[in-house]
Homo-oligomer: A and B are copies of this chain.
Amino acid sequence: MASLQDIGMSAAINILSALSFLVAFALLRLQPINDRVYFPKWYLKGIRGSPTKSGGLVKNVVNLDLKTYIKFLNWMPAALNMPEPELTEHAGLDSTAFMRIYLLGLKIFIPITLLAFVVLVPVNWTGNTLERIKDLTFSNIDKLSISNVPPGSNRFWAHLLMSYVFSYWTCYVLYYEYKTIASLRLRYLASENRRPDQFTVLVKNVPPDPDESVSEHVEHFFCVNHPDHYLMHHVVYNANNLAKLVAKKKSLQNWLVYYQNKHERHPTKKPTTKTGLWGLWGSRVDAVGYYTAEISKLNQEENAERERVASDPTATVPAAFVSFKTRWGAAVCAQTQQSSNPTIWLTEWAPQPRDVFWDNLAIPYVELSVRRLLMAICLFLLTFFFMIPIAFVQSLANIEGIMKVLPFLKPLIEKKVVKSVIQGFLPGIVLKIFLILLPTILMTMSRIEGFTSLSSLERRSAEKYHLFILVNVFLGSIVTGTAFQQLEKFINEPSTEFTKTIGVSIPMKATFFMTYVMVDGWAGVAAEILRLVPLVMFHLKNTFLVKTEEDREQAMDPGCLDFATSEPRIQLYFLIGLVYSVITPVLLPFIVVFFAFSYMVFRHQIINVYDQKYESAAAFWPQVHKRVITGLIISQLLLMGLFSTKGVAKSTLLLIAQPIMTFWFHRLCKGRFETAFMKLPLQEAMVKDTLEKATEPNLNLRAYLKDAYVHPVFKGGELERPVAIDEEENSPLVATKRNSYRSSRHDSDASSEVGV
C-alpha cells in the first residue's frame, strides 16, 4: 500500500499538472484568435462579434496588453459571480441544475468531512492495532482508517453512530435539494413564455385505418374525444430522402458563397472549378455559374420530393403532434389514456421542437418491447463480458499479428524501442479506444430502444453508463479480476460472503481511489477548461476549411454539458465519498476539492462556452437523486460486510435498518417529488391559460403553432432556432434585465480580457 509520501508525491504531480493546464488556459483565452473557442456562448447569443471586423491583424491574433496577463486567474471569481437566477436565464435550467449536483456534493461532504475528522480520525488513530501486528507493512494513512481499530473493540460504536449520522445528513440534504429543484422547475415552467410544446402532445401508435389517412384519422379522433380543446395537428413525415437533398444543397450554397466572395475580392479573375469529385477531376467550368445551375437543379428535385412526401400517404408515419387550444387541454390529453387498447393512441408531452428525435416516432408497441428486451440483454453482456472481445482484439494486435498483416513494417517493428512501445501500449490503447467509443455505443443502444427525445436518450444512456462505471470501475477496482469473474463469484458465493469480500478489501484500496480522484478528478477537470480538442479543431478548420463567415460560425464548436457521460462520472465520486466516509475519512478532502474545483470550472464553461442542444427543465434530477441513493445503499451494505468481519456481529444487526430506511426514504421522495418532473399539474396550466386569456385575448394560436412541429427539412433546410429564446427577446421585462447584465458583462469582459 502506498505511504503518505507516495500520496503526497502523486498529489504534487497532479496539482502541478492541473495548475499548468490552468495557466495555459489563462494565456490562451486572452488571445483574440482563440476568442471563438473560449467564449462561443456569447457569439451564439449575438453579443460578441467576430474580432476580425475591427483593429489590425496582429492585435486580432495576439493580445499585447500585458496588464491582462497579471490577473490570469480572474475568471474564477467571475465564474462564481453570476447569481443563480441569471445563470438560469443565461443558460437554461438544465445547466443550473447540473451545477447543483456539484453543490450537492459540497453540501453533503463538507460537514461529513469535518465531523469525520473530529470524531473518527482520532478514534482510528488511537486504535493502535496495526503497530502491534509486526509482520504487516502499513502506512500512516492506514493508521487513520478503520483497519487500525482492534476487532471486537467498543470503538466501533463510534463508526456505527457516525454511519447513521452521515446517512441521515445525506438524506436530509438530498430531500431539500430535491424539493428546491422541483420548485425551481415549476417556477421555471411557470415563468416561461409561450412555447409550442406547452400546447402540444405527441401522439404515437396511431392505428391504421383503411378509409382515412393518418392525418384525417388523428383529426377525427381528437375532434370527437377532445371536442372543446382540440386545435390542430402536425403529421410526421418520413423525410430521410428530403433531408439528404437539403444537406447537399446547403453544401453547394456554401461553395457558391465562397466563390462569389472570391470573385468580389478579385473582380478581374473569374473563379473556376472542376465538376468531378471534390473539385479535383473533370472539366474546368465557371464556378459561380456552375453552382448556381446545380443549386437550381437541386431546388427542382427538392420541390418534387417535397410534394411527393406531402401527397403520398405512405410517406407519413403513424404519429402526430396534436396541439390544443389551451395548456389545460394539452395537460389533460398528455396524462390520460385515450383508447381502451393501451397500445394505440399513446400520448405524452411533446418534447421541445429542437429536442425531438425524429427517427423514433413510428415504432410499433410490440417491436418496442422486443427492442428493450434485446438492449437489456446487450447491456448485461456489455457490462460483464466486454473484456472478451477486447482481449480478442488485443491478442490480434500484438507484434506477430501486425507483422503478418503488414509485412512491410517488419524492419521498423523489429527495432527494440518500437517493439517495446507496441507491446506496452497497444493493449492499453485498444482498451482506451473502447472506452472512448463506449458512450457512443450506449447512445446507439438507447436509440434502438426507441426514445423520442434527445433529452430522454441522454438520460437513458447515463443510466447505462452509470451501471458500467459502477461494475467495472468501482467494483472492478476493489475486487481484482474481470466483471465476469465477479459475477461468477456473486452467483456461487453466499451473498453475505460477497459483501464481506468487498467490505474487507475496501480499506486497502483507499490510496488507489485517492490517486484516482486526483488524476481523473483534479487534472481531468483542469484539462476540460483548456478545451484542447476544440481549440485544435477550430484552428485546423479555420486554416483549411473555412470559406465563408457561416462556415466560421460552424467551425466554432461550443460543445455542451454531456449529461450522458458527465453525470455518471460525478456519481462515482459520490459513491467513493460515501463508501469511505466511515472507513477511511482521509479520503474525503480529496472529494471535497474535486467538487469545489469542478463547480468553478463548469460554471465558467456554462457561462462562456457551452450551448445546450435542448432544455428539459432539470428533468434529469430524479435520476441524479436515485443514483446518489444507490451509492448510499451500496456504502451501507459494504459497511455491513466490513463490520461482520470485525468481530462485532451484533452491530451488523443494528446496521440492517439503514438500507431499509434509505430505500423507504427513496420511495417517499419519489412519491413526493417525482411527478413534478413527469406531469404538468392542471392548476399550473389553468393559471397560465387564464393569465394569457386576460393579457392577450386576440392571440392567434393557430398561426403561432403553424410551423412549430414541422420536420426541420421542411423549413427550407435550416435547423430551426430555439423558439424559446426568440420569445424571450420580445419580453421587455426579462430582456432588459438580461441585456443590462449582458452589456455590462460584455464591457467588463472586453476591457479586462480582450483589451479592446
- A-side residues, CB < 8 A to B, are 186, 221, 224-226, 228, 331-332, 335-340, 342-343, 345, 365-366, 369, 373, 377, 491-497, 660, 664, 667-668, 671-676, 679-684, 686
Q: Which of B225, B335, B495, B667 contacts A336 (CB 8 A)?
A: B335
Given A340-B684, A684-B340: A671 touches B365 (CB 8 Å cut-off) = yes
Chain B residue at smallest Cβ distance from A492: B494
| A336 & B342 in contact (Cβ 8 Å cutoff) | no
| A497 → B minimal CB distance (Å) | 8
| A716 → B minimal CB distance (Å) | 38
Chain B residues whose CB sits within 8 angstroms of the CB of A671 once the complex forms: 342-343, 365, 369
Known: A221-B683, A343-B672, A495-B495. 17 other contacts (CB 8 A): A186-B340, A225-B686, A226-B682, A332-B336, A335-B336, A337-B675, A338-B681, A338-B683, A340-B683, A342-B674, A342-B675, A342-B681, A343-B671, A369-B664, A491-B495, A492-B496, A492-B497
Chain B residues whose CB sits within 8 angstroms of the CB of A664 once the complex forms: 369, 373
* Residue of A226, A340, A497 contacting most chain B CB atoms (<10 Å): A340
Q: Which of B225, B493, B660, B674 contacts A683 (CB 8 A)?
A: B225
Closest 6 CB pairs of A and B: A342-B675, A335-B336, A337-B679, A373-B664, A337-B681, A340-B681
Quickly give the copy total for this chain. 2
Chain B residue at smallest Cβ distance from A182: B340
Alpha-carbon distance between A668 and B372 when the two chains are bound, in angstroms = 11
| B377 & A342 in contact (Cβ 8 Å cutoff) | no
| B373 & A338 in contact (Cβ 8 Å cutoff) | no
| Sample of 29 A–B contacts (CB below 8 Å) | A186-B340, A221-B683, A224-B683, A225-B686, A226-B682, A228-B228, A332-B336, A335-B335, A336-B679, A337-B675, A337-B680, A337-B681, A337-B682, A338-B681, A339-B683, A340-B676, A340-B681, A342-B676, A342-B681, A343-B671, A365-B672, A366-B668, A369-B667, A373-B664, A377-B660, A491-B496, A492-B494, A492-B497, A494-B497
* Residue of A228, A342, A493 contacting most chain B CB atoms (<10 Å): A342
Chain B residues whose CB sits within 8 angstroms of the CB of A335 once the complex forms: 335-337
Alpha-carbon distance between A680 and B339 when the two chains are bound, in angstroms = 9
Alpha-carbon distance between A664 and B377 when the two chains are bound, in angstroms = 11
Q: Which of B332, B668, B683 contacts A332 (CB 8 A)?
A: B332
Alpha-carbon distance between A653 and B172 when the two chains are bound, in angstroms = 45
Alpha-carbon distance between A712 and B583 when the two chains are bound, in angstroms = 60
Chain B residues whose CB sits within 8 angstroms of the CB of A342 once the complex forms: 671-676, 681
Chain B residues whose CB sits within 8 angstroms of the CB of A186 once the complex forms: 340
* Residue of A496, A681, A682 contacting most chain B CB atoms (<10 Å): A682
| B336 & A682 in contact (Cβ 8 Å cutoff) | yes
Alpha-carbon distance between A646 and B668 when the two chains are bound, in angstroms = 46
Chain B residue at smallest Cβ distance from A675: B342
Chain B residues whose CB sits within 8 angstroms of the CB of A683 once the complex forms: 221, 224-225, 338-340, 345
Chain B residues whose CB sits within 8 angstroms of the CB of A366 once the complex forms: 668
Chain B residues whose CB sits within 8 angstroms of the CB of A668 once the complex forms: 366, 369
| A618 → B minimal CB distance (Å) | 14
Alpha-carbon distance between A377 and B680 when the two chains are bound, in angstroms = 34
| A375 → B minimal CB distance (Å) | 12
Chain B residues whose CB sits within 8 angstroms of the CB of A228 once the complex forms: 228
| A331 & B336 in contact (Cβ 8 Å cutoff) | yes
| B491 & A494 in contact (Cβ 8 Å cutoff) | yes
Alpha-carbon distance between A369 and B667 when the two chains are bound, in angstroms = 8
Chain B residues whose CB sits within 8 angstroms of the CB of A660 once the complex forms: 373, 377
Alpha-carbon distance between A672 and B344 when the two chains are bound, in angstroms = 10
Alpha-carbon distance between A493 and B492 when the two chains are bound, in angstroms = 9
Alpha-carbon distance between A155 and B331 when the two chains are bound, in angstroms = 60
Chain B residues whose CB sits within 8 angstroms of the CB of A672 once the complex forms: 342-343, 365
Alpha-carbon distance between A247 and B675 when the two chains are bound, in angstroms = 43
Alpha-carbon distance between A224 and B674 when the two chains are bound, in angstroms = 25
| A385 → B minimal CB distance (Å) | 14
Chain B residue at smallest Cβ distance from A224: B686
